[in-house]
Amino acid sequence: MKKEHQDSLRTEELLINMGPQHPSTHGVLRLVVRTDGEMVRETWPQIGFLHRCFEKIAESLNYAQVIPYTDRMDYLGSMNNAVAFCLAVEKLGGFEVPERASYIRVIMAELNRIASHLIAFGTYALDLGAITPFLYGFREREMIVSILEKVSGGRLLYHYPRIGGVARDVTPELVNETRVFLRQMRKVWPEYNTLLSENQIFVKRTANVGVISREKAISWGLTGPCLRGSGVAFDLRKQHPYSLYERFSFDVPYGQGLKGTVGDCWDRYWVRMVEMMESCKIIEQAINGLPEGPFMNKVSRGFDLPAGEVYVPCENPRGELGFYIISDGGSKALRIKARAPSFCNLSITNEICKSVLLADVVAILGSIDIVLGEVDR
Amino acid sequence: MTHQEVHARLRERFGDAIHEWQAPEAGPVGAESFRTYIQIAPEALHDVCAMLRDDSGLRFDFLRLISSVDRMECLSSVYHLYSYTHHHEAVIRVDLDRGNPRVASVAGLWPAAEWHERESFDMMGIVYEGHPYLRRILLPEDWAGHPLRKDYVAPKEYNGLTNE
């Protein structure tokens, strides 16, 4: 090509703003993207639009009062958040939890995990231009939401786990309803795969895109499906069980590069899909073995925790949620720090969005599956 | 490796830069104990972390969390580490001068630290030296003060917005 032609074809770098109000960013996330034609050179995620000072507020409340605030962090996994917080307080305070309560927590947490993954499944398809899976995902999610509503009174934010147990007992009718849901979920799961997982357009958009190597995933502190998608079979429920998870048998799915490379978007998506089935296994075992007994140990309302500090990590739908609680001996914490998995998972964005197509940024962000309420806290 | 063994290993190499081991106080339920951390001198932080990451017996490849704590007499930066290789964990704590809290950044060792340190700078005002991009992360650029400090007073007004 002649020199003058080359000059006339030279592209110019362009700064593009994605968000804060952009449907594919799942909330209020602003991405500043430096592009060269269709290629992305650099991305700067701008976060904080949903910052509600969780950690500051938590210092001015007693422990029981903090639980509803944890619900509002990852609002798609409210049960899981509250369970994690209660476990941390219980460990520091030495409170015992009845066996039945632990089982109920497992059931609710796993139901919530499925509900969360169903949204991840639906919105991910939505990001990539398919509307139908979203509607199917919400159909099944509605069944879970109805179960959780009956047990807690809320459809999104439950405030159900309490320090020392759970707020209300589950009834036999509710157990039956859960069984009906499990049957339905197992029936439609293969349909999801026909509809989306095996869909050639979907595979072309996600396989070999946004590959995160095992080493990168670990050094950037990714957890949950993002870590497992990169081929690390690590699940806190398995390796460091809490809340009696050691009693249930389930597998830990991890990325194997079935459609492309280990650690690509499809692998992360697939880990979530398989996890839904594993959660069904856990729920089934838990409702079959649900022990009789109290669902709550009475803990006085305004208790003091002994001075000390504790960090309790739990496996949330999005990864490791941990509460680091430092107590100076009073009824309020000196400091409560939440390790939010979405925050850590999002930090890798710039690293994997170098030299990808602009349209792939949406595919990559969707596969990380963030909830901005938790990123910003 | 237990927490205490990690401590002994570090003390062997770094001597007095690693504070003495404090036996964890027994928790209310039997042997379940809490409050275990390895306190080190802030100047040694980067070297200690490099050893924690690279030593074949320690191999802490996962930086879980960096938290900042205002203890009034000092500010602390606390590092929770985990090893996927050996499945053990460690908690490192440095206490910093409240008037001039500065400590070396570990973002070069674990890129995960980048955002944690930015948050800690934003909320508590700890300066991580050598950080590639130490800017506020959750609060607006022009925000004054560091809200998680105990003596922070929330402003009545911000850019024409009032909270009354």
C-alpha distance from B5 to closest chain A C-alpha (Å): 19
pLDDT over 90 at A353, yes or no: no
CA angle B146, A342, A283 (to 5 degrees): 135
Looking at the complex, report in whole angstroms how far the Cα of residue B139 sits from the nearest Cα belonging to chain A: 6
Give the integer Cα–Cα distance in Å for A71 and A158: 7
Domain that holds residue B77: 3-24+31-162
Q: What is the pLDDT of residues A205-238, one digit of tens each?
A: 898 888 999 999 999 999 999 999 999 999 999 8
Query: B151 to chain A: nearest residue by CA?
Result: A56
Total number of domains in chain B: 1
Q: What is the least distance, in Å, from the CA of A182 to any CA of chain B? A: 33
Give the per-residue pLDDT at B150: 87
In the CATH scheme, what architecture does the domain A11-376 have?
A: Orthogonal Bundle (1.10)
Mean pLDDT, to the nearest integer, of A155-180?
90
Size of interface A-B (CB pairs under 8 A): 95
Q: Which residue has the higher pLDDT, B6 or A101?
A: A101
Q: Do A309 and B37 count as a contact with CB atoms less than 8 A apart?
A: yes
Edge-first strand listing for the sheet containing A356-357: A13-18, A30-36, A39-46, A356-357
B138–A351 CB contact, under 8 Å: no
Interface residue A267 vs chain B (CB under 8 A): no
Q: Is A168 exposed, middle or buried (0-12, 13-18, 19+ CB in 10 A)?
A: middle
DSSP bridge partners of B70 = B75
- Check residue B30 and give its pLDDT: 42
- Over 70: is that where the pLDDT of A265 sits? yes
Please say if the pLDDT value at position A1 is more than 60. no
Split at pLDDT 50, 70, 90, the class of A333 is confident
Task: Look at residues A314, A331, A301 and name the one whose alpha carbon lies nearest to residue A106.
Answer: A314
Band of pLDDT at residue A23, cut at 50, 70 and 90: low
Nearest to A109 by CA among A140, A85, A78, A75: A78
- Confirm if B59 and A334 have CB atoms less than 8 A apart: no
Residue in B33, B74, B138 to test binding to A, most A beta-carbons within 10 Å: B138
* Average pLDDT score, chain A: 88
Give the domain CATH number at B128: 3.30.460.80
For residue range B101-123, what is the model confidence (pLDDT) as tens digits? 999 999 999 999 999 999 999 99
Domain boundaries, chain A: 11-376
How far away is chain A from the Cα of B137, in angstroms, using its nearest Cα? 7
Q: A96 and chain B: CB distance < 8 Å anywhere?
A: yes
* Min distance A112 CA to chain B CA atoms (Å): 24
Q: Which residues of A touch B64 (CB under 8 A)?
A: 221, 311, 313, 320, 322, 339
Among the partner-chain residues A48, A324, A346, the one whose CB lies closest to the CB of B139 is A48
- ipTM field: 0.87
CA distances from A325 to A90, A139, A334, B35, B115 (A): 11, 38, 8, 10, 20
pLDDT tens digit string along B48-95?
999 888 888 888 999 999 999 998 888 999 999 999 988 888 889 898
Q: What are the E-state strand segments in A189-307?
A: none
Q: Which of B32, B36, B65 to mutate to test the interface with A (most CBs of A within 10 A)?
A: B65
- Chain A nearest CA to B35, separation (Å): 5
Rounded CA-CA distance A37/A111 in Å is 44
Residue B58's φ and ψ, nearest 5 degrees, are -100, -60
- Contact residues, chain B to chain A, C-beta under 8 Å: 25, 27-29, 32, 34-35, 37, 61-65, 67, 69-71, 78, 80, 84, 87, 91, 110-112, 114-116, 119, 123, 137-140, 147-148
In angstroms, the separation between the Cα of residue B94 and the nearest Cα of chain A is: 15
Q: What percent of chain A has pLDDT over 90?
A: 37
Q: Which residues of B touch A345 (CB under 8 A)?
A: none
Residue A129 contacts B where some CB pair is shorter than 8 Å: no
Of B34, B64, B65, the CB nearest to A309: B34
Q: How far, in Å, CA of B96 to CA of B74, rounded?
A: 6
Task: Specify the pLDDT at position B31.
Answer: 38
Q: Does residue A170 register a pLDDT over 80?
A: yes
Is A303 part of the contact surface with chain B (CB cutoff 8 Å)?
no
